[in-house]
Amino acid sequence: MWIYEKKLEYPIRVSYTNPRLAKEIITQYGGPDGELAASLRYLTQRYTMPTPQAKAVLTDIGTEELAHMEIVAALVYNLIKNATVEEIKAAGLDDYYADHDKALYFVNAAGAPWVASYIQSKGDPVTDLHEDMAAEQKARSTYEYLIRLSDDPDVTDALRFLREREIVHFQRFGETLNLVHEWMDSKKVF
Amino acid sequence: MADTKPNTPNNTSPQEGETTGYFGELARAYIVPQMYSRIWSPAEGLMKGTIFPELYRPYEPGMRP
C-alpha cells in the first residue's frame, strides 16, 4: 500500500504557456523511457527479486518513479492549461487535443500510446536489474534531450532534478546487482 | 609461439580465471559501491537532486557523457 503526500517531490513552476514544450515533455509521462514505464517496471519486477534488499530497492525506486510521473504530469498540464486552440494548433498539439482536450494521457512525444511492451519482467533478477540500469540511462538521455529542447528556465530546473535522480537510481540498481550476484554465489556453496 | 607451455587445466591453479572477488569476473557487470561520507543538507539535496556529493553529475547542454 502507499501513503499519499499531497505535495510534489520537487516543487515545479512554468514560466509561460508553452504547448510545444508540453508535447515534448509528455514523452516522460507515457513514452518508452518515461516515468509510467519506469514505475510499473520496478513495481512489477520486485516480486521475483531473490532478497529482501532487492525487493525493497525496486519498491522504493518504483514508488519514487510514481512521484516523478506526477511531476511530469504537473509540468505538462501547467504548460497547456491556458493555451488557446490557435496556440495548440501552432505547436502541433492539435492531434492530441482532438482526442484528449487538455487532459493528461500516456503518449510519447509523437503521440503513440503507452504499451506494456516498453517493459519486461523476466523472472531472472540479473536480467531484470540490467534492464533497470539501462532504463535509468535511457531516461537520463531523454532528460538531457528535453533540457536542450527547453526554452523555459523553470521547466529546465525540474528536468535537471529528474535527470539527477536517474543517476542515483542507476547507482542503487548497480549496488543491488552486486548484492544479487553475491547472493547467487552464496547459494553455490551449498 | 614464444610461450610453449600447453594451456591445459593441469597447468592452471583452481582459482585462476575464476572469481577473484566481486570486481574481477568476466561476463559480469559491476558498479563500484558507494562509500558514504559527507552529505548535503536536505534543502541543498532537494535543489541538486541528491544529498550525496559523490553522486552529483550536473548536466550542461552540449556536454556529452
Rounded to two decimals, the ipTM of the complex is 0.92
Q: Is the pLDDT of residue B6 over 50?
A: no
Dihedral-angle region of residue B17 (phi above 0 means left; psi in -120 to 50 means alpha; beta otherwise): left
Domain count, chain A: 1
Give me the pLDDT at residue B4, please: 47
Q: Residues B1-24: what's their mean pLDDT?
A: 48
A68 belongs to a structural domain: yes
Q: Using the structure block, give the residue that is written with the C-alpha cell 482536450.
A: A101
A1 belongs to a structural domain: no
Which letter does DSSP use for residue A40 in this model?
H
Q: Would you state the cell numbers that stand for residue A75, as one nine-digit string?
A: 509540468
Report H helices in chain A. Answer: 19-25, 27-30, 35-45, 52-80, 85-90, 94-100, 125-149, 153-188
Cβ distance A167 to B50 less than 8 Å, yes or no, reads yes
In chain A, whose CA is at the least distance from the CA of B55?
Answer: A168
φ/ψ (deg, to 5) at A15? -75, -35
Which candidate in A8, A163, A168, A182 is best for mutational testing of the B interface (most B CBs within 10 A)? A168
φ/ψ (deg, to 5) at A88? -65, -40
Q: Residues B26-45: what's their mean pLDDT?
A: 95
Cβ distance B59 to A163 less than 8 Å, yes or no, reads yes
Under 8 Å CB-to-CB from A66, ≥6 apart: which residues? A2, A35, A39
Where in chain B are the domains? 29-57
Residue A166: domain span: 19-116+123-188
Q: Using the structure block, give the residue that is written with the C-alpha cell 510534489.
A: A8
Q: What is the CATH number of the domain that holds A43?
A: 1.20.1260.10
A97 belongs to a structural domain: yes
In chain B, whose CA is at the least distance from the CA of A164?
Answer: B49
Q: Would you state the cell numbers that stand for residue A136, as one nine-digit string?
A: 535509468
Residue type, A82: N
Cβ distance B31 to A175 less than 8 Å, yes or no, reads yes
A106 belongs to a structural domain: yes
Residue-by-residue pLDDT tens, chain A, 190 positions? 999 999 999 999 999 999 999 999 999 999 999 999 999 999 999 999 999 999 999 999 999 999 999 999 999 999 999 999 999 999 999 999 999 999 999 999 999 999 999 999 999 999 999 999 999 999 999 999 999 999 999 999 999 999 999 999 999 999 999 999 999 999 876 5
- The answer to whether A150 touches A21, Cβ cutoff 8 Å, is yes
A5 belongs to a structural domain: no
Across the interface, of B28, B29, B50, the residue whose CB is closest to A164 is: B50
Give me the pLDDT at residue B25, please: 86
Q: Is the pLDDT of residue B8 over 90?
A: no
